Copies of this chain bind each other. A is one copy, B any other.
Amino acid sequence: MKKVTAHDVARLAEVSQSAVSRTFTPGASVAPDTRERIEKAARKLGYRPNAIARSLITRRSRIIGLVMSYLENQFYPVVIERLCQALQQDGYHVLLFISQTEDADEVLTDILQYQVDGIVMASTSLSSALASDCQNAGIPVVLFNRVAQMGAMGAYATSSVTSQNRDGGRMVGELLLRTGHRRIAWLAGAENASTSRDREAGLRDALEAAGMPLHARAVGHYDFAEARRAVLAMFKDPANRPDALFSANDHMAIAALETLRTELGLEVPRDVSVVGFDNVPQAAWPSFHLTTVQQNIDEMVDATRNLLFDQMGGQIMARSVDVPCVLVERGTVGVRDGQAGRKPTKSRKTP
């Protein structure tokens, strides 16, 4: 019932407490037979080193704080899973915080008290006040799937890893143009989210290059119900309907698909094409078979780890990594008119 400590083990094995500590410290020097005696005693007593005490003295908790908000978007559970596992393999652990508000400040003061070795913030941004608090405290922060505001010097104030969202947006724009669409609409996520802004910028790049205006635009705030409302508004006038809708993420694209079919009686892709972003598991379900841009989660997780470890190792400059993303053509983009567009072949079949 009461906790067994290194002292108890030392007593049983008839050695000093230091020896016990060394036995459980990789790379410390202990004579083989001493170690064996200690391990036996430890096993007998059910001894497990106290990680809290270790953290206090080593000043490294081996805990990473992870701040999350929108778990309903299936992209994030996948991120949690991969990130947790990667970190576990490195001997780190994840303290999870859910921040319902976009502003993660209050949650952060909490995290800081736990002496985490690093923080990753997914789909949230932090005030520059907190960012500099972390910097002062020497705690590396990396933004996941969101990019920091430019700092005063034009340098990035906080590290971040994202996809090449602008590229992804451009790829979708080009696909839509190539397949003959002329009334292309954009369904934005949150206006202040860099993902949404960058993907939109990419789309606009493509449109501009072709001298084509954006046909319509609405904001869905990365939310299912709001996306539905936005779609209803955009498609209100039957005479002036978009022939393609590019949604800032799959979560909203699926909401759009549902709304288009069920409430507006439109057929996809016959009446309107739909493209998303993320490639969440549901995008591959036959009911949706959604054409989308895949974010490479594994590479993003890898980059996050590297950034974190570099900065824990003293690398002080913040860096921004962006990972290539790939177009996954499934069934929600059609070919319009007698346009010289090619059919959506080359589909990367994802079962």
Q: Which residues of A contact B (CB under 8 A)?
A: 1-3, 46, 48-53, 55-56, 59, 61, 63, 66, 71-72, 74, 76-78, 80-81, 84-85, 88, 93-98, 100, 107, 109-110, 112-115, 133, 136-138, 224, 254, 257-258, 261-262, 281-282, 285-288
Q: Which of B96, B110, B288 contacts A96 (CB 8 A)?
A: B96
Instruction: Please tell me if the beta carbons of A48 and B109 are within 8 angstroms of each other in the complex.
Output: yes
Taken together as a complex, chains A and B put the C-alpha atoms of A2 and B84 apart, in Å, by 28
Could you give 5 example pairs across A and B, Cβ below 8 Å?
A2-B138, A3-B137, A72-B281, A94-B97, A258-B286
A115 contacts across to B, CB distance below 8 A: 50-52
Q: Cβ of A2: which chain B residues have Cβ within 8 Å of it?
A: 138
Rounded to whole angstroms, the CA-CA distance of A97 and B97 in the bound complex is: 13
Contact across chains for A93 and B74 when beta carbons are under 8 A apart: no
Report the Cα distance A96→B71, complex, angstroms: 15
Closest partner residue, chain B, to A114 (CB atom):
B51
Chain B nearest CB, measured from A80 CB (Å)? 7
Q: Is the CB of A52 within 8 A of B49?
A: no
Given A72-B281, A137-B3, A286-B261, A81 contacting B110 (CB threshold 8 A): no
State whether A85 touches B100 (Cβ < 8 A): yes
| Neighbour of A287 across the interface among B50, B93, B133, B288, CB < 8 A | B288
What is the distance, in angstroms, from A23's C-beta to the closest C-beta of chain B? 15
CB pair A93–B114 under 8 Å, yes or no, is yes
Residues from chain B with Cβ under 8 Å of A56 in the complex:
50, 52-53, 56
CB within 8 Å for A48 and B98 given contacts A76-B77, A287-B258: no
Give A59's nearest chain B residue, CB to CB.
Answer: B3
A165 to chain B, nearest CB (A): 23
Question: In the complex, what distance in Å separates the CA atom of A56 from the CA atom of B164?
Answer: 44
Shortest C-beta distance, A100 to chain B (Å), equals 7
Q: Please pick, from B1, B51, B113, the residue contacting A138 in the complex, using a CB distance under 8 A.
A: B1
A85 and B114 contacting across the interface, CB-CB below 8 Å: no
Closest CB-CB distance, A112 to chain B, in whole Å? 5
Return the contact of A84 from the options B59, B97, B258 (Cβ within 8 A): B97
Indicate if the CB atoms of B133 and A46 lie closer than 8 Å.
Answer: yes
Tell me the bound Cα distance from A68 to B115 in angstroms: 24
Q: How far is the CA of A46 from the CA of B3 in the complex (A)?
A: 35
Beta-carbon contact of A93 and B93 below 8 Å? no
Q: Are B97 and A96 in contact (CB under 8 A)?
A: no
Which chain B residue has the least Cβ–Cβ distance from A111? B93
In the bound complex, residues from chain B placing their C-beta under 8 Å from that of A55 are: 52
CB distance from A260 to the nearest CB of B (A): 10
* Chain B hits for A84, CB < 8 A: 96-98
- Given known A-B contacts A85-B100, A98-B84, A114 and B52 have beta carbons under 8 A apart: yes
Residues of chain B within 8 A (CB-CB) of A287 are 257-258, 261, 287-288
Q: How far, in angstroms, from A286 to B287 measured CA to CA in the complex?
A: 10
Supposing A3-B137, A77-B72, A282-B282 touch, asked if A113 and B53 sit within 8 A by C-beta, the answer is no
- B-chain residues with CB within 8 Å of residue A66 when the two chains form the complex: 96
B residues within 8 A CB of A72?
77-78, 281
Report the bound CA distance from A48 to B113 in whole Å: 6
Which residue in chain B gives the minimum CB-CB distance to A286? B262
Q: How far is the CA of A254 from the CA of B137 in the complex (A)?
A: 48
